[in-house]
Chains A and B, each alone.
Chain A
């Protein structure tokens, strides 16, 4: 059945895999009908999918350096697109995004624009040129283009800072999902998540991560889209909800006016004993706020996320794995297409979720109903009992008002199927999808860090004579060390998922965006300029984060640039520093200029050749 090379059989292999997963889903449906408990179904979903990823990880083991670092540069365009989409879409995208839109409305959707628009920058300014360069890691490009170990080291520093900020949130998410679905404590869940993640990456490096990420993408996209379509069909919201919810959006606006968007005072919330982290609707669903400041806040957040996207090493390194420059460029388009499938569905899920709870004409509604009736509903009881939802009767009229219903944002994704009356098997599927999303991103991030430390720090700086065996051993040891450190911090539960995720983008754009882009597009960029750009950007950005961060000095933001947007400051400083210092130092030598000429031409050999 499978003739020839593994990569030639990919459509068949993943076609079978998708069919197998759907069969498993049907089997679980039958099992649920026959009385298998909800808890058991959750456990089966998680263990089955994780076992498959681990199997792929083990089968993809390798002792070849090129396979370990760049998957042998043989990942076909479309499959690399899927792997990048899984690499990209984190636990936050999967679990928290629809909830963010549900509560934040139009303003929050700046994240959607930012997390997609960045790919235009990746494809136009960076991916094809870095592929032509032939580097194994992003700092490898900085170190070779500008020359010198110090520039390389600065790039590693930014990479580790940005990726580490991001990865703790992912491991946190795997812990949350594992603990909920398997019924184990959060701390244990984190370590279960970490072991699963390492199983997928340790033996085969980039090669193993690539093929597990493709498998994880298939699970996560099925798990996200299937419930949305199902809810839409069941509730008669239209065959294709993405194009048929115009009326529902208008209806939500109408209902918001009817119920009123009341803001609760902080004291009232505290006095009622609302658990931490729960929110209520007080921002309009579809209305755009008026004024230049509101527009600037939207745009500035979108800019940070876009430029950050184009600077995140774990994304850029995915394009090192394609067979050639043309396919690297094309692969960016496919990546965004696969990401788009989830992102353009999230607002629809938020809309469906909201209308179901708000519209008194629907039998699923709870707002405007007597509180004792609402409290008797099964799903309400369940989520209140785990402190993920809460009711506070502020005006003591016994009727649930819009501002009296509190819920954690994640619940939008996790509970909407239940609210719509879908069988529990869908919740099991959603848990598997969330796990796939968090694991795939964590794998990409941990590998990006471990590869930078093993290739750029250990091999290029510490021991350039190390043989293949030793290099790969060090790479794997670092993978474990970084994973354990991230899990240890995640287990302490320091940050909320989204705050930390946005920071990773800001760190990356502050330190890496201009050194990378100008390295390709400006021959005059010098080593000193790049070092100045990386350090000045990183230091000023970090300083500004400490200055405005609510957890730190909490000073009033300048021009509305708050802690989510500190990359605006960092990247601007980085650009100025890099240009000024480059112009003040001696023009790069002829060899460097020729190197830049070479990366601009798709044909011919890569600039770096690895032994």
Chain B
């Protein structure tokens, strides 16, 4: 059975998973539910219509940043619970 240390680690991991997937859901789905309405907004400085911009660039960039951020957070969680393997190179 999992030790309590491992359970605490898994609870934190699950919390991070929920936040990450909520942001993912927002940028991949929620925005495009309102594609028609949002497209009348112009992106400041760049001048593209908003929905067009989000599917051409905005959401894509958001995903890249999201994965970097969440993998950094996960490493913090692993370190905090003493289960990180970042130093290991061999099996």
The A interface, classified by DSSP as helix, strand, loop or mixed, is helix
- B88–A603 contact, CB under 8 A? yes
Please, which residues of chain A bring their CB within 8 A of the CB of B63? 116-117, 119-120, 336, 340
The B interface, classified by DSSP as helix, strand, loop or mixed, is helix
**Contact assessment for A333 and B91 in the assembled complex, using a CB-CB cutoff below 8 Å:** no
Cβ B36 vs Cβ A120 within 8 A? no
Whether A125 lies near B36 (C-beta < 8 A) is: no
Whether the Cβ atoms of A120 and B21 lie closer than 8 Å is yes
Are A323 and B88 closer than 8 Å at their CB atoms? yes
Please list 22 pairs of residues, one from A and one from B, whose beta carbons are closer than 8 Å in the complex, sorted by A's number. A73-B91, A109-B55, A120-B66, A120-B70, A123-B71, A124-B17, A124-B24, A124-B70, A242-B57, A286-B48, A288-B36, A299-B32, A336-B63, A336-B67, A340-B60, A340-B63, A344-B60, A347-B56, A597-B1, A603-B82, A603-B84, A604-B83
Q: Which of B27, B43, B86 has the most CB of A within 10 A?
A: B86
A329 located at the interface, meaning its Cβ lies under 8 Å from any Cβ of chain B in the complex: yes
| B56-75 contact mask (Cβ, 8 Å, vs A): 1 or 0 | 11011101101110110011
A5 to chain B, nearest CB (A): 11
Contact pick for B83, options A249, A302, A327, A602, CB 8 Å:
A602
Spell out B's residues near A (CB within 8 Å).
1-2, 6, 9-10, 13, 17, 20-21, 24, 27-29, 32-36, 38-39, 42-43, 46-49, 51-52, 55-57, 59-61, 63-64, 66-68, 70-71, 74-75, 78, 82-86, 88-91
Given A247-B47, A306-B28, A340-B60, verify A291-B91 contact (CB < 8 Å). no
Q: Which residues on B sit within 8 Å (CB–CB) of A605?
A: 91
- Interface residues of chain A, those whose CB is within 8 Å of chain B, are 73-74, 106, 109-110, 112-114, 116-117, 119-121, 123-125, 128, 134, 242-243, 245-247, 249-250, 286-291, 294-295, 298-299, 302-303, 306, 323-327, 329-330, 332-333, 336-337, 340, 343-344, 347-348, 593-594, 597, 600-606, 609
Q: Which residues of B contact A242 (CB under 8 A)?
A: 57
Q: CA separation between A379 and B51, bound complex, in Å?
A: 34
Name the B residues within 8 Å of A74 (CB-CB): 89
Q: Which residue of A lies closest to B65 (CB)?
A: A333
CB distance from B18 to the nearest CB of A (A): 10
Given contacts A246-B46, A333-B68, contact A120 B24 (CB under 8 A): yes
Beyond the given A246-B42, A249-B48, A324-B86, please list 20 additional residue pairs across the A-B interface where CB-CB is below 8 A: A73-B91, A112-B56, A113-B32, A116-B63, A120-B21, A124-B20, A287-B49, A288-B36, A295-B33, A298-B35, A303-B29, A329-B71, A330-B71, A333-B68, A336-B67, A337-B68, A344-B61, A600-B10, A602-B84, A609-B91
* Distance (whole angstroms) from the CB of B39 to the closest CB of chain A: 4
- B33, B64, B66: the one contacting A299 at CB < 8 Å is B33
Residues of chain B with a CB closer than 8 A to A134's CB: 91
- The docked-state distance in angstroms from the alpha carbon of A286 to that of B89 is 48
Closest A residue by C-beta to B28: A117
With a CB–CB cut-off of 8 A, which chain B residues contact A324? Answer: 85-86, 88-89
Asked if residues B52 and A286 are in contact (CB atoms below 8 Å), the reply is: yes
Whole-angstrom CA separation of A116 from B66 in the bound complex: 12
